[in-house]
A and B are shown apart, each in its own frame.
Chain A
Amino acid sequence: MYPKDFYYTKDHEWIKLEGDLGIVGITDFAQKQLGDVVYVELPKVGTNLESHQTIGGIESVKAVSDVYSPVSGEVREINEELNDSPELVNNDPHGKGWIIKIKIKDKSKVEKLMSVSEYEKFLEGLNE
């Protein structure tokens, strides 16, 4: 279910390393909680983010939630496909539903995030 090479946060974002960049999205668990996504508010390319700072917002038929950056860095790319097809977040949260690509300031911080097994355990804890 959850990709092995991703890192995860307690706020249910994921980050995948791709060279100097990190691709960021929300997890399958998060998209299920939100329900049908109708709008994704994206940041501007070039925005400098601190870890835990808001990247943007995801609006579903049920709620609006903030998405937080798992690490510090600069926004290099945004998924503009989400402007017309926000449902990608539901249909393919770990793939085509990615949100931003970020130039990571300090790669060592990524390894401090949860691994897939830790995240799955974390989710089990939430279900109890």
Chain B
Amino acid sequence: MSYISISKKDKEEMRAKIGVSCIDELFSSIPENVKRKKPLNLPHPLSELELKRYFEEKANNNQYSEYLSFLGGGAYNHFIPAVVDYLSQRGEFLTPYTPYQPEVSQGTLQVIFEFQTLICQLTGMDVANASLYDGASGAAEAVLMAHRLKGKSKILVARTLHPQYREVIKTYTKDLGLTIEEIGYLESGKLDFNDLRRKFDEETFAVICQSPNFVGVVEELETISKFAHDRQVLSLAVVAEPVSLGMIEPPGKFGVDIVAGEGQSFGIPLGFGGPYLGFMACGRNFVRQFPGRIVGQTKDGEGNRGFVLTLCTREQHIRRGKATSNICTNQNLCALRATIFLETTGKKGLKELAFQNLQKSHYALEKFCKIKGIKRKFEGPFFNEFTLQFSKPWSEINKSLRKKKMIGGLGLEILYPELKNCALFCITEMHRKEDIDKLAAGLEEATS
């Protein structure tokens, strides 16, 4: 977008037009006692060259790229092919804001339609929306949707659902008078069925869990869905690491009613907090209670294939307070990147990517478990993340790894006080064998 400055003359003309003699007059409605009298304490302006040097110096203080990171826990370090940046930064895609008018936005609408199609294929569901803010808000929307469908007041939430997702669910449902009950996990890391049975009651409307879950373990979605359906309640599943869907059967195959997840793994960089990409999908029968934008395929007056927003009566701009959600937008640029990523990676490519993640993480686990003072915490099957328990506090081990420029795993004690000396490790295609071996050596030294 071009930058158009305004001259002194422009300002004078504008003031003359509206009959204002100085700019302060425009702020006359603000009480004097709250106005700032002194000028802001800002440094002198810099020339472009000076400014560039200033920020270059600051940027050089960043040491992140020198570090080898094994963090996961909802944010995943995956390769982003150059084609994703190149295509997503084309002006036609990058600059329009809320590009939903069919008359001028066929390209963008087609991308969203393709994104929805890809999400349906990945999750095994009938309908996907145009995306949501992130995995956490997606999970919360799934809970709200289940509540609209079933009424009642109690939601059973797996303790191994991402802790931040659980927080967002609490925030979103705060004023609905819902009871949120946590379902514990077994020694294997899987959902505790006895606990689920104990906490289920007449007021329950849905069960929500994550797979692979926060401690890395793949859940038995089929059994959980069957439990829910036998009791006429809904089964909701969250996928925080969608690369896993390259190998694991989609939640739709296991009878899950609503799937929500995080799409950051698909071509979206780790950006110290975002933007991320929420996705959501459900069965055809629930579409009227589905939140968010949906793009549909149609024909124009001449019979050509075209795309439009559809089922808008669920949405806020039409239904106001009776809308299914207050989200009236989507995460379009991120959805575009995910679409380009998935379409260029392809079915085979995604499978290969998932396979590499699986193989490398299993190699790593085997290697780490040979080290004295380290044991695998959960026996359940895992994809690219696993939990290790150490004979020493994690903080000590972490400190030693940092000295060797490694960001080891994610210490779990702060999120799960019961997981003493435990940390979560994530291995992706980005890690070479020598990287894993380097971490193994670092862990060996730290634990000895």
Name A's B-contacting residues (CB within 8 A): 39, 41, 44, 57, 59, 64
Contact = CB atoms under 8 A, between A and B. Distances in A.
Given A64-B313, A64-B318, A41 B151 contact: no
B319 interface: yes
Nearest to A46: B151
Nearest to A41: B288
Contacts of B322: 57
10 contacts: A39-B288, A39-B313, A41-B288, A44-B151, A57-B313, A57-B322, A59-B313, A64-B313, A64-B318, A64-B319
A41 B289 CA distance: 10
Q: List 9 tightest A-B contacts by C-beta distance, closest first.
A: A64-B313, A59-B313, A64-B318, A44-B151, A64-B319, A39-B288, A41-B288, A57-B322, A39-B313
Interface string B143-160: 000000001000000000
A64 B288 CA distance: 13
A44 B318 CA distance: 23
Nearest to B319: A64
A32 to B, nearest CB: 20
Contacts of B288: 39, 41
Contacts of B319: 64
A41 B323 CA distance: 12
Nearest to B322: A57
A44 B322 CA distance: 16
A41 B148 CA distance: 12
Nearest to B150: A44
Nearest to A44: B151
Interface in B311-345: 313, 318-319, 322
A15 B318 CA distance: 28
A103 B313 CA distance: 30
Interface in B340-370: none
Nearest to B151: A44
Contacts of B151: 44
Given A39-B288, A44-B151, 8 more contacts: A39-B313, A41-B288, A57-B313, A57-B322, A59-B313, A64-B313, A64-B318, A64-B319
Nearest to B289: A41
Contacts of B318: 64
Contacts of A59: 313
A39 B311 CA distance: 10
A58 to B, nearest CB: 10
Interface string B126-167: 000000000000000000000000010000000000000000
A44 B151 CA distance: 9
A57 B319 CA distance: 10
Contacts of B313: 39, 57, 59, 64
**Residue in B288, B313, B319, B322 whose Cβ sees the most chain A Cβ within 10 Å:** B313
Contacts of A57: 313, 322
Contacts of A64: 313, 318-319
A57 B314 CA distance: 11
A34 to B, nearest CB: 13
**Residue in A39, A44, A59 whose Cβ sees the most chain B Cβ within 10 Å:** A59
A57 B318 CA distance: 12
A57 B151 CA distance: 18
A105 B288 CA distance: 31
A24 to B, nearest CB: 19
A59 B324 CA distance: 15
A13 to B, nearest CB: 18
A44 to B, nearest CB: 6
Contacts of A39: 288, 313
Nearest to B285: A83
A11 B218 CA distance: 54
Interface string B365-405: 00000000000000000000000000000000000000000
Nearest to B318: A64
Nearest to A57: B322
Nearest to A60: B313
A41 B318 CA distance: 15
B193 to A, nearest CB: 30
Nearest to A59: B313
A64 B322 CA distance: 11
Interface in B256-309: 288
A57 B313 CA distance: 10
Contacts of A44: 151
A44 B150 CA distance: 10
A44 B205 CA distance: 15
Nearest to A64: B313
Contacts of A41: 288
A85 B406 CA distance: 62
A38 to B, nearest CB: 9
A41 B311 CA distance: 13
A59 B322 CA distance: 13
